[in-house]
């Protein structure tokens, strides 16, 4: 019996249509963010988190349009990592890939810990099982992603439907419990503009799953049409959903209570559902949280593995990561490494620190996205040039409104990454050049 056929030159197959791309975007966006970030951001801005949700949606839209036009013009796996190389220079490309790996690996670990916490609470099992159970979840999701992407899409669609139903029920059934008095601090005052900007940065992370569509540019049908439509559709749906969920959660508990619950590590939306006092709603919201985080986790494993693959192709990481299983069109070595990295972060993760770190890293990542979008030729643009400038300025501005300790560590890790790039090029660059030549030969054939 022979083993699975492996090729380092094979390209990924285009198997995803518009509906599948929108679902993958929703599955990546709606997850840990809606169940965690609203409560965390409420601690910074009070009920002003509602305005932060709107502001973050605008920033995300600028970035989404720029990601879409970059992916349409350069439809390969790797997202801004590839765009940085193509439109800027190798250092910008590497920083984009490096910050993406840092941010989203932390987000994936947070999702695994969150899902595990909800499951253990529902089963009334000991909290001592949190890390082992989280590792089991990571291993299971990695195994699913190890197969072909169509199986991953079916899993994503199934869990996403449960999440959307749970959040919709929360909004509809909780509408009658909203207390208008809880929104007295809606607008920033008493010098709390900094809290509003921090909340905007934190909420921006809750939108960033749309980049998942762009990282799969090599696997989407008609990417120039499909990717922009999928990004815009996913962002519109999510913005409405987030605003509705935040309105009910704050109107039911008040922003200080919501923030306190989130800070304690409990489930803020589930506590709010308890206050609504509709039989079964709390259980449904808990189930929705679990499925949301599992959906985010599998999408992050898929997206992260494609960035590892892209970095392996260019010699920024070992070329072994660029090998693709020819039968399943899956970068299996990259998927396994992704699972291992996430598992390691699970062992040491902290939700608030991880979320703030994700905010800084993702904003730097999208700053590079917008910078690359400025280089797109006029005749190839899908959005006007000012959209790229708006996104660039907003990302760089918001990145430094998170905890100073977080962005200082982030800058240090970026420097460490650039040092690694210089070392990697000395070790892996020749293999990467040969790999690209093999790939080009396969395409020509």
Give yes or no for residue 444 having a pLDDT over 50: no
pLDDT in tens, 347-366: 875 667 777 888 899 999 99
- Characterize the bridge pairing of strands 324-325 and 6-7: antiparallel
Please state, as a whole number, how many other Cβ atoms lie within 10 Å of the Cβ of residue 353: 16
pLDDT-derived band at 136 (thresholds 50, 70, 90) equals: very high
**Mean pLDDT for the stretch of residues 131-151:** 81
How far is the C-alpha of 373 from the C-alpha of 70, rounded, in Å? 6
Q: Bigger pLDDT: 209 or 150?
A: 209
CATH for 216: 1.20.1740.10
Nearest in space to 38 (alpha carbons), one of 271, 303, 214, 342: 271
What percentage of the chain's residues is helix, strand, coil (to nearest 5)?
80, 0, 20
pLDDT in tens, 305-317: 888 888 888 888 8
Give yes or no for residue 8 having a pLDDT over 50: no
DSSP annotation string for 145-205: HHS-HHHHHHHHHHHHHHHHHHHHHHHHHHGGG--GGGGTT-S--TTTHHHHHHHHHHHHH
How far is the C-alpha of 175 from the C-alpha of 310, rounded, in Å? 46
DSSP 34: I
> Is residue 2 included in any domain, yes or no?
no
DSSP annotation string for 65-115: HHHHHHHHHS--BTTHHHHHHHHS-HHHHHHHHHHHHHHHHHHHHHHHHHH
Highest mean pLDDT among 302-306, 349-353, 438-442: 302-306
Residue 45 is predicted with a pLDDT of 85
> Is residue 313 included in any domain, yes or no?
yes
Q: Check: pTM over 0.75? Answer yes or no.
A: yes
What is the domain range of residue 377? 13-440
- Contact criterion met (CB below 8 Å) for 220 and 75: yes
Q: Which two tokens stand for residue 72?
A: 């349409």
> Is residue 342 included in any domain, yes or no?
yes
> Is residue 263 included in any domain, yes or no?
yes
Residue 434 is predicted with a pLDDT of 55
Q: How far apart are the first and last CA of the chain?
A: 28
> Is residue 315 included in any domain, yes or no?
yes
> Is residue 1 included in any domain, yes or no?
no
> Is residue 6 included in any domain, yes or no?
no
Q: Any alpha helices (H) in 264-384, and if so which ranges?
A: 268-276, 281-314, 332-346, 351-373
Residue 218 is predicted with a pLDDT of 65
> Is residue 4 included in any domain, yes or no?
no
Structurally, the chain folds into a number of domains equal to 1
Q: Bigger pLDDT: 49 or 221?
A: 49
**Mean pLDDT for the stretch of residues 247-260:** 89
């Amino acid at each position: 019996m022979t083993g699975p056929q492996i090729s380092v030159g094979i390209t990924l197959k285009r198997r995803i249509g518009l509906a599948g791309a929108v679902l993958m975007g929703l599955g990546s966006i709606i997850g840990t963010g809606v169940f965690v970030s609203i409560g965390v951001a409420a601690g910074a801005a009070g009920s002003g988190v509602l305005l932060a949700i709107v502001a973050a949606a605008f920033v995300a839209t600028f970035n989404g349009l720029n990601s879409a036009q970059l992916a349409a013009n350069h439809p390969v796996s790797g997202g801004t990592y590839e765009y940085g190389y193509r439109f800027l220079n190798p250092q910008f490309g590497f920083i984009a890939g490096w910050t993406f790996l840092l941010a989203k690996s932390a987000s994936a670990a947070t999702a695994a810990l969150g899902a595990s916490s909800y499951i253990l609470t529902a089963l009334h099992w000991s909290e001592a099982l949190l890390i082992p159970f989280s590792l089991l979840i990571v291993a299971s999701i990695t195994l699913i992603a190890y197969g072909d992407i169509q199986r991953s899409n079916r899993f994503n669609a199934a869990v996403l439907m449960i999440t959307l139903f749970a959040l919709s029920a929360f909004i509809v059934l909780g509408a009658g419990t909203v207390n208008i008095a809880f929104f007295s601090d809606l607008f920033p005052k008493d010098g709390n503009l900094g809290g509003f900007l921090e909340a905007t940065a934190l909420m921006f992370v809750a939108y960033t799953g749309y980049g998942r569509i762009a990282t799969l540019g090599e696997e989407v049908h008609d990417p120039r049409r499909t990717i922009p439509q999928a990004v815009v559709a996913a962002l519109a749906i999510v913005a409405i959903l987030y605003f509705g969920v935040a309105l009910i959660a704050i109107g039911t508990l008040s922003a200080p209570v919501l923030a306190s619950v989130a800070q304690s590590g409990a489930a803020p939306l589930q506590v709010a559902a308890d206050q609504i006092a509709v039989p079964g709603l709390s259980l449904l919201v808990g189930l929705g949280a679990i499925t949301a985080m599992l959906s985010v986790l599998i999408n992050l494993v898929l997206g992260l593995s494609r960035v590892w693959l892209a970095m392996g192709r260019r010699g920024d990481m070992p070329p072994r990561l660029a090998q693709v299983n020819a039968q399943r069109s899956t970068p299996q070595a990259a998927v396994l490494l992704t699972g291992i990295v996430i598992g390691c972060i699970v062992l040491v993760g902290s939700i608030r620190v991880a979320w703030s770190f994700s905010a800084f890293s993702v904003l730097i990542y999208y700053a590079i996205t917008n910078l690359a979008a400025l280089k797109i030729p006029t005749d190839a643009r899908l959005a006007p040039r000012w959209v790229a400038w708006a996104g660039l300025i907003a990302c760089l501005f918001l990145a430094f409104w998170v905890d100073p300790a977080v962005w200082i560590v982030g800058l240090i890790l970026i420097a460490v990454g650039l040092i690694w790039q210089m070392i990697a090029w000395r070790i892996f660059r020749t293999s990467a050049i040969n790999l690209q030549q093999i790939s080009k030969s396969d395409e020509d054939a």
